[in-house]
Chains A and B, each alone.
Chain A
Amino acid sequence: MKPAPFDYVRAKSLGEALAALGDDAMPLAGGQSLLPLLGLRMASARLLVDIGHLDELRQSSATDATVTLGAAVTHAEIEDGRVPDPGHGLMRSIARKLAYRAVRNQGTIGGSVAMADPAADWPACLVALGATARIAGPDGERRVAVTDLIEDIYTTSLVPGEIIVSFDIPRLHAAAKTGTAKVMRKTGAFAMSFVVAVLHDGDQADRIVLAGAGRRAERLAETSDAVAAGMDEAALRAAVAADLAGLMDAPDDYAVRLHTAVVLRALAEARRS
């Protein structure tokens, strides 16, 4: 587990970080995904540009409608309520069950989205909340919905030289109901199945978002519609199966049972909330 040699620079500002990110350089935030990948030699870089401490990425702010979280806000800061929670406690409860405290103290929300692990927690949460990423690059700033930013397994539309600066996350309606459920091999491990359910969010459609099945976190369209239409459990199960058939190549019985159970648990939690 020793990475191949690379150089390291701690950027002093976002501008300096963007300037340093030339060929074969990578941003380094918490290092909780990148350092294991470098150690396993599944990734390599000539230069790591440390952006974890940059003011521009550490800031958070809130208005009545939107919470903006800096990309370098850590999982533990969300867990501890040190930043506003647009989901009225949803993000805190997700953070509490993400990895382990020692990983949460360093790992960042921006790193998690940039990594685009198909089983990761924040992509599913941010898709369910309808978040938009603000991205800085050599050609200026752009904004893109997280659901479009993440394209495939470990693949985003970020191009080399770009840095996620922050996420704009619409606040849920005060009457919204939320629930999550997660099945993992061991507490703190990546999910085998993870669902975020958001219901009754003002005039917005219900969202049932699943990670761990497809190539990225996705809103289950048929399931979400079935929930909104108040269908019974048999109809919901059929809707989940239909969504899974679209997400996975030939899901086996176990996958269908697993993801269906997790959807139903998240829904039950949302209805109780």
Chain B
Amino acid sequence: MRTITLSVNGEDLTVTVEPRESLADVLRERLDLTGTHLGCEHGVCGACTIEVDGKATRACLILAVMAEGRRITTIEGLRDDPVAAVLRRHFHEQHALQCGFCTPGMLIMARDLLNRSTPSSEKDVREGLAGQMCRCTGYAGIVRAVLAAADETTSTRSPTP
């Protein structure tokens, strides 16, 4: 076991972990941040997607010890983010979730997509979110929500903390 300090959503948190523990497990089991979901645990489903140093990252494919000294943002840290707020509203309006299991990863990735580009077609959104699986909605509502949010946020970008 070793004691490390993780910067999560702007807060320095000290936690004792085994080197083999994924960041996702440490966030959920040791830091009680259960907004990061775990589906496949090998990079395919996208449920665990978070940001590390501002870059979308699979929390199941990074060890907590690798993340020491880096800036971690989880879905809990996007409460006041302007792009995430627009996305949440359109997800609500377009029925872009049912069970909600995929939603945290979907929102993180959709926000990343909108911060990097302005998707203008269904194809852009489907390609950008190809690494995020949803077992409930059939994706149609998600695609509509992200396109609507893209329209609204053409000049809005998340601040870099």
Contacts and interface: CB of A to CB of B under 8 A. Distances in A.
Given A1-B41, A32-B43, A36-B42, A102 B56 contact: yes
A1 B41 CA distance: 6
Given A8-B19, A31-B63, A35-B63, A106 B130 contact: no
Given A4-B20, A5-B18, A105-B55, A36 B61 contact: yes
B19 A101 contact: no
* Interface secondary structure of A, over-half rule: loop
Given A8-B63, A36-B43, A39-B41, A101 B20 contact: no
B58 A102 contact: yes
Contacts of B112: 101-102
Interface in A9-37: 10, 28, 31-32, 35-36
Nearest to B2: A8
Interface string B102-131: 000000010011000000000000111011
A102 B42 CA distance: 12
Contacts of A186: 130
B131 A100 contact: yes
A102 B109 contact: yes
Contacts of B58: 32, 102-103, 106
Contacts of A5: 18-20
B56 A101 contact: yes
B49, B57, B109, B112 — which one has the most chain A CB atoms within 10 A of its CB? Answer: B57
Name the interface size band of chain A.
20 to 34
Nearest to A106: B57
B148 interface: no
A43 interface: no
B62 interface: yes
A187 B43 contact: no
Interface in B53-99: 55-58, 60-63, 65-66
A203 interface: no
6 contacts: A2-B25, A6-B20, A36-B43, A39-B42, A106-B52, A187-B126
Interface of B: 18-20, 22, 25, 40-43, 46, 49, 52, 55-58, 60-63, 65-66, 109, 112-113, 126-128, 130-131
Given A8-B66, A52-B66, A101-B109, 17 more contacts: A6-B19, A7-B19, A8-B19, A10-B65, A32-B61, A35-B61, A50-B66, A76-B55, A100-B131, A101-B128, A102-B46, A102-B109, A103-B58, A106-B52, A106-B55, A106-B62, A188-B130
Sort A-B residue pairs by CB-CB distance and give the 7 closest, nearest first.
A100-B131, A1-B41, A187-B130, A8-B19, A36-B42, A105-B55, A102-B56
Interface of A: 1-8, 10, 28, 31-32, 35-36, 38-40, 48, 50, 52, 76, 99-103, 105-106, 186-188
